[in-house]
Amino acid sequence: MVEDVYPSGLEGSELVVRYLGRRDYEPVWQSMKSFTAERDDQTHDEFWVVEHNPVFTQGQAGKPEHILFPGDIPVIQVDRGGQVTYHGPGQLVFYFLMDVRRKRSGPRAVVSALEYAVIEMLAGFGIEARNKPDAPGVYVNGAKIASLGLRFRKMCSYHGLSLNVDMDLEPFSRINPCGYAGLDVVDMASLLGKVDIEEVSRRLLVCFQKALNYINIDEKAANNDQPAGSAC
């Protein structure tokens, strides 16, 4: 069972979930940085759920040769690790604004928990997926379906995970995804047909909640409650 491989020691805590709808990437990124810089010991952890307008994001140590022909899609240099990836409509993005010290565990355990949460959620749709020890993310028959990249600042995380649900995959051909030439990319719709992204979001939140042992979740809609420090 997937739940048997969740890392141990992830203590329960309270969580705020904010649904942002569709947003440009850069203002949300700046908001994540502001939230992390301004948080204190009393700040609840937050998940932000969003779809982005088309954008390529390049990690801190990203090599320009992995961006082949971006065309009219902007490229933004960001402060996470890893190489280049693509975000666009039909892709579900979760940003994890967590104080990892509350979990009494380390970054690697948190990353593993997130990967196995995605694997469990996909199994609920009949999709068999796995992670790779040497390449963060989740894969189906060798094709990447979810990308994962967190930044830790004083043991507080931001950035997150993107899951390809029902999207135009063509922009991935304009890059070497995550720095791997020829890496195949897949979405849930390619495997299942039409998929409801809101249903996927609900199921994935439940799996993340279980994987990270959160309690007392407070869910907030984007049009009622903007992220702290938001410029979007």
Sheet hosting strand 13-23, strand order edge to edge: 130-132, 135-140, 143-153, 156-164, 91-99, 45-52, 13-23, 214-221
**205 in a known ligand binding site:** no
Q: What is the dihedral of CA 96, 100, 105, 108, to 10 degrees?
A: 50
**161 in a known ligand binding site:** yes
Please say whether the beta carbons of 189 and 197 come within 8 A.
no
116/125 Cα distance (integer angstroms): 15
**66 in a known ligand binding site:** no
> Residue 56 gets which letter from DSSP?
E
**19 in a known ligand binding site:** no
Active-site residue, from 156, 178, 207, 232: 178
**80 in a known ligand binding site:** yes
**Is 178 a residue of the active site?**
yes
β-strands 84-87, 91-99 pairing = unpaired
**148 in a known ligand binding site:** yes
Residue type, 185: V
**81 in a known ligand binding site:** yes
**87 in a known ligand binding site:** yes
**83 in a known ligand binding site:** yes
**182 in a known ligand binding site:** no
Residue with tokens 């609900």: 202
Both structure tokens of 211? 């994987």
**82 in a known ligand binding site:** yes
**86 in a known ligand binding site:** yes
55/49 Cα distance (integer angstroms): 17
Q: Residue 207: CA atoms inside 13 Å, Cβ hemisphere, count?
A: 23
Task: Give the catalytic positions in this structure.
Answer: 178
For the annotated binding site for substrate, the residues are: 80-87, 147-149, 160-162
Instruction: Pick out the residues of the known binding site.
Output: 80-87, 147-149, 160-162
